[in-house]
A and B are shown apart, each in its own frame.
Chain A
Amino acid sequence: MIAQWLFYGFATLAVLGALGLILFQHPMNGAMCFIVTLISLAGLYALLSASLLFALQLIVYAGAIMSLILFIIMFLNIQATDLPEEKGRWTFLFGGILVIAPIGLFLLKVVKTLPQGETSIIGQDFGGVKKVGMVLFQDWLLPFEIVSILLLVALVGAVVLAGKKEMAS
């Protein structure tokens, strides 16, 4: 039962955070809300017996990525005048809801057809570092390897795009 209540709590937080993200004018506020969402999600992962992912979500997402984003927001020193006016924001929001509704309803219809299952915590280190690590390095070696290439590309790319390196004249 506690898990149930926890789920609802986290879910509400996550949705509120997401709403905050898309409603707040200033990205800083949005980012803070988004962090709430991310942390709630981490909680949900824990509820789903994904302990490693719980940790990663907190460290990588809420920690690394979000602090990067926040850092950049601060770094750019965004003033209110830099922000877009977004006068028609509400029109777009409600229009957007109308447009998105079919997609959401379709997805809901779809997931209802999936088999139901319990969410109680599974023991035996399910979702733990060791087991997930075994799966990752045995079954998913190739994706894991190429992710490294991806990160390399991102690295080089970020350097090229944002770097201070003088351009060859």
Chain B
Amino acid sequence: MEQSAAYLGLIPLLPLAGATIIGLLHLSSCQTCKLSERTYGILACIAPILTFLFAIKVFLDLHGLPVEARQISYQAFTWFKVGELDIAMGFFADPLSSLMLLFVTFTASLIHIYSIGYMAGDQTFGKFFAYLNLFLGMMLILVLGNGPVVMFVGWEGVGLCSYLLISYYSEDRANVLAGNKAFIVNRIGDLGFVLGMAFLFWAIGGSGFDYISLKANAHLLSSTTISLVCLLLFLGATGKSAQIPLYVWLPDAMAGPTPVSALIHAATMVTAGVYMVARFSFLYSLVPTVGLIVAWTGILTALVSAIYGMYQDDIKKVLAYSTVSQLGYMFAGVGLAAYSAGIFHVFTHAFFKALLFLGAGSVIYALHHEQNIWKMGGLRTKLPITYWTMLIGALALAGCPPFSGFFSKDEILYLALATGNPGIWLIGVLVAGMTAYYTFRMIFLVFHGSPRDQGLFDHAHEAPTVMTVPLIILAVGALFAGVLNLPAIFGGGQVVSHWLAPSLAELHPEASHETEILAIGASVVAFFIGITIAYRKFGSGAEVPVFTGFASFAYHTFRINELYDLLLVRPYKAIGSAIEYFFEPQVTDGPVQLTTWFYRAAGTVFKLLQVGYVRIYAIYMVIGLSLMSLLLSQSLK
């Protein structure tokens, strides 16, 4: 049945070891001799590339197994075992994780390579790569963990790494605040994850708390329990994958270096939520209602963030909102029990989003860290490789057939229709159009038209090879990845879906060809409408707009941040201060102070009774005696 494979343990270990080595080298040498960037770069890239090779090996190994037995696992050691709780530090690979593994390590390797160029000249070059490696290692633990608890290690680990990398430029308070926000918001989600695990454990975890046992025992659960667990886990997913209501951290996360954004958005972290829902498909598929909640949350997130995306002026923010939006699609997919579709979108998204971010990084690099698209323009000539690769990425993102994004997005929209959720579909199509609009708004503003800031433009130059090669590779991926899951209507074999099938408890709705054609047609139309409007407005240069009314509201992201600040952060801080200045000294300490006061007051009274007149003392004595004799004569009778 299961195959034991010790090398599974090695996969997350490699980047972690890399991180440790680089980190130690950095720490020990930061004061005195600085190691060369080349050394760090090579050291840093070893781990991702090796893990990619291992990922291929995993894939091949799994492929070599019969379809139903495609699982390999490795149990390193008993992590902790208390009573019926028995958690092993174990790793587990099945088709789902192997797919994740493949593209995660692939994009991560490219991002590592790209970073060597992008981060050149940074003060703490070594630290950056240590973090990157750590990030990858955590993601791999997340993907390969054999149960929710091990997954949680990676889950929190990526949160930590995102914090570290977002606040990488720590001198600026805003960056650190963004990092804090990311960590804290993620933690809110993690609370859901932990509670979900706890409920799940007390329901069926006693007989094993890894995916295999859980899956085997899932039928023992009542539907209330499943719903509760699924909702809680989904709360975790909203935190990690930036869905309503916890998406606010992601746009701020742009404060980190651009490769980090690429890593977070493409390969690691944000996809974790989708992966987790797919991982627990054996539970989610049992409660379609919760699935609908997931799907609606996803599609609404997609809509809202697409609206935001249309008004942003920071190139990375546009991409960030597009990520949130695309993640919404993915959740719509997995929520509708179309897990393979969701995962497939994760897969394609990894390529084009990594591509877009790295491209954006290349632009930013060229413009000396200028990120405002209203200061760019006409860069097509200056940065040809970046332009063309980004164009491919943009087309994929916008869902232009036959780029990869088209197939994956369309699959989700089709399934929305097929499962009888026209609302989701309609919004999805709308969002598709908006996606095309804001993506190309960005492309046009950055690369077309005439330069808006001549100084920046003059100094712009194409990035070094170490940065452009990853762009090209990713562009190829973005172009062709869609082919892997070509639906039957285009004569494809849905390779990915079939590959994933053993891992997922998927529903396969039956729908007519007409539906499918309708879905495809609508998406294509939406794409063209979006791109046309974008071209009309920005195709040949545009001036900095002044946002009013709804546009201003959307530009400020519906003032959600301010709302959260008002509703959560400020009250929290206010209560904190209130406790310090009012409750702590006055209320909780009150009884103590009152006792002391009373004690002292009584002491004063007794002090006053010590009048010093001997006659009065005699009177005290006589009064005492007299009272006692009164009592005694009562008792005499």
Let me know if B636 is at the binding interface, CB within 8 A.
yes
Q: Which residues of B contact A107 (CB under 8 A)?
A: 629
Contact B626–A103 (Cβ < 8 Å) = yes
Give 3 closest A-B pairs by Cβ, nearest first: A106-B629, A106-B633, A102-B630
The residue in A96, A100, A103 that gathers the most chain B C-beta atoms within 10 A of its C-beta is A103
Q: What mask results when residues 95 to 114 of chain A are scored 1 for a CB within 8 Å of chain B, else 0? A: 01001111101110110000
Cα separation A109 to B637 with both chains bound (whole Å): 9
Contacts of A103 in B (CB 8 A): 622, 625-626, 629
| In the complex, per-residue mask of A76-101: 1 if CB is within 8 Å of any chain B CB, else 0 | 00000000000000001000100111
> A100 near B622 (CB under 8 angstroms)?
yes
**Alpha-carbon distance A129/B15, docked complex (angstroms):** 118
23 interchain pairs, CB-CB under 8 A: A92-B615, A96-B619, A99-B619, A99-B622, A99-B626, A100-B622, A101-B626, A102-B626, A102-B627, A102-B629, A102-B630, A103-B622, A103-B625, A103-B626, A103-B629, A105-B633, A106-B630, A106-B632, A106-B633, A107-B629, A109-B633, A109-B636, A110-B636
B623 interface contact, C-beta 8 A? yes
Give Cα A149 to B619, complex, Å. Answer: 32
**Chain A contacts of B633 at CB under 8 A?**
102, 105-106, 109
What distance in Å separates the Cβ of A111 from its nearest Cβ neighbour in chain B? Answer: 12
The closest CB in chain A to the CB of B630 belongs to A102
Contacting residues, chain B, for A110 (C-beta < 8 A)? 636
How far apart sit A113 and B280, CA to CA, in the bound complex (Å)? 96
Looking at the assembled complex, report how far the CB atom of A97 sits from the nearest CB atom of chain B, in whole angstroms: 11
List of A residues within 8 angstroms of B630 by Cβ: 102, 106
Interface residues of B in 609-636 (CB under 8 A from A): 615, 619, 622-623, 625-627, 629-630, 632-633, 636
- What's the Cα separation between A106 and B625 when bound, in Å? 11
A99 to B626, CA, bound (A): 6
7 further A-B pairs in the complex, CB-CB below 8 A; given A100-B626, A107-B629: A92-B615, A99-B619, A102-B627, A102-B630, A103-B625, A106-B632, A109-B633
B-side interface mostly: helix
What is the size category of the interface that chain B forms with chain A? 10 to 19
Q: When chains A and B are docked, how far (Å) is the Cα of A96 from the Cα of B622?
A: 9
- Size class of the contact patch on chain A: 10 to 19
Number of A-B residue pairs having CB atoms within 8 Å of each other in the complex: 28
Among B615, B623, B625, B629, the most chain A Cβ lie within 10 Å of the Cβ of B629
Residue of A nearest to B629 (CB): A106
Q: Can you name the residue of chain A whose Cβ is closest to the Cβ of B637?
A: A109
Complex interface: chain A residues within 8 A of B623 (CB)? 99
Which residues of A have CB within 8 Å of B629? 102-103, 106-107
Distance between B620 CB and nearest chain A CB, rounded to angstroms:
10
Q: How far is the CB of B3 from chain A (nearest CB, A)?
A: 100
Residues on A with beta carbons closer than 8 Å to the beta carbon of B636: 109-110
- From 96 to 147 in chain A, residues with beta carbon under 8 angstroms from any chain B beta carbon are 96, 99-103, 105-107, 109-110
| Chain A residue nearest to B632 in the complex (CB) | A106
Complex CA gap A102/B632 in Å reads 10
Q: Give the residue name and chain of the B residue nearest to A113 (CB).
A: B636
Max chain B Cβ within 10 angstroms of own Cβ: one of A96, A102, A105, A109: A102
Query: Which A residues touch B615, using CB under 8 A?
Result: 92
Q: How far is the CA of A103 from the CA of B615 in the complex (A)?
A: 18
Cα A105 to Cα B626 in complex, Å, equals 10
Q: Give bound CA distance, A86 to B636, whole Å.
A: 38
* A100–B623 CA distance with the chains assembled, in angstroms: 8
Chain A neighbourhood of B632, CB < 8 A: 106
Chain B nearest Cβ from A127, distance in angstroms: 32
Chain A: CB-nearest residue to B618:
A96
Bound together, the chains give a CA A110 to CA B632 distance in angstroms of: 10
| Closest beta carbon of chain B to A162's beta carbon, Å | 20
Complex CA–CA separation, A44 to B627 (angstroms)? 32
Binary flags per residue of B151-185, CB closer than 8 Å to A gives 1, else 0: 00000000000000000000000000000000000
| Residues of A with C-beta under 8 A to B625 | 103
Instruction: Give Cα A103–Cα B628 distance, bound, in whole angstroms.
Output: 9
Chain B neighbourhood of A99, CB < 8 A: 619, 622-623, 626
A108 to chain B, nearest CB (A): 9
Q: How far is the CB of B30 from chain A (nearest CB, A)?
A: 80
CB-CB under 8 A from B627, the residues of chain A are 102
CB distance from A43 to the nearest CB of B (A): 30
For the complex, give the distance between the alpha carbons of A92 and B613 in Å: 14
Q: How far, in Å, is A106 (CB) from chain B's closest CB?
A: 4
Shortest Cβ distance from A167 into chain B, in angstroms? 26
Report Cα–Cα, A141/B424, bound state, in Å.
118
Interface string of B289-302 (1 = CB under 8 A from A): 00000000000000
Output the least CB separation between A49 and chain B (Å): 31
* Bound complex: CA A110 to CA B636 (Å): 9
Among residues of A, the one whose C-beta sits closest to the C-beta of B625 is A103
Neighbouring B residues of A106 by C-beta, 8 Å: 629-630, 632-633
Query: Considering residues A92, A106, A110, which has the most beta carbons from chain B within 10 angstroms of its beta carbon?
Result: A106
Alpha-carbon distance A19/B627, docked complex (angstroms)? 25
Q: Closest Cβ of chain A: how far from B632's Cβ, in Å?
A: 6
A110 CB → nearest B CB, Å = 8
Closest-CB distance, B171 to chain A (whole angstroms): 80
Q: Which residues from B are CB-within-8-Å of A92? A: 615
The residues of B that contact A96 with a CB separation of less than 8 Å are 619, 622
Q: How far is the CB of B107 from chain A (nearest CB, A)?
A: 99
**B623, B625, B630, B633, most chain A CB atoms within 10 A:** B633
**Closest Cβ–Cβ distance, residue B630 to chain A (whole Å):** 4
Nearest residue (CB) in B for A101 is: B626
Q: Which residues of B contact A102 (CB under 8 A)?
A: 626-627, 629-630, 633
Closest to B627 in A: A102
Report how far A109 CA is from B631 CA in the complex, Å: 13
A110 and B635 alpha carbons, distance in the complex (Å): 12
Query: Which residues of the other chain, B, contact A105 by a CB distance below 8 angstroms?
Result: 633
Interface string of B592-617 (1 = CB under 8 A from A): 00000000000000000000000100
Greatest chain A CB density within 10 A among B622, B625, B626 is at B626
Q: Which residue of A has the minimal Cβ distance to B622?
A: A99
| Residues of chain A contacted by B622 (CB below 8 angstroms) | 96, 99-100, 103
Nearest A residue to B636 via CB reads A109
Measured CB to CB, the closest approach of chain A to B145, in angstroms, equals 86
Chain A contacts of B619 at CB under 8 A?
Answer: 96, 99
A107 nearest CB neighbor, chain B only: B629
Task: State in angstroms the CA–CA spacing of A96 and B629 once bound together.
Answer: 15
Q: Would you give the shortest CB distance from B464 to chain A, in whole angstroms?
A: 104
> In the complex, how many angstroms separate the beta carbon of A51 from the nearest chain B beta carbon?
35
Minimum distance in angstroms from A93 CB to a CB of chain B: 12
Which residues from B are CB-within-8-Å of A100?
622, 626
Contact residues in A for B626 (Cβ distance below 8 Å)? 99-103
**What are the residues of chain B within 8 A of A101 when measuring CB–CB?**
626
CA distance A121 to B64 in the complex (A): 136
Tell me, rounded to whole Å, the shortest Cβ–Cβ distance linking B39 to chain A.
Answer: 93
Q: How far is the CA of A106 from the CA of B630 in the complex (A)?
A: 7
Alpha-carbon separation in the docked complex, A99 to B625 (Å): 9
Docked pose: A103 CA to B629 CA in angstroms: 6
Chain B nearest CB from A101 CB (Å) reads 8
CB distance from A2 to the nearest CB of B (A): 36
Chain A: minimal CB distance from B51 (Å) = 98
Give CA–CA (A102, B630) in the complex, Å: 6
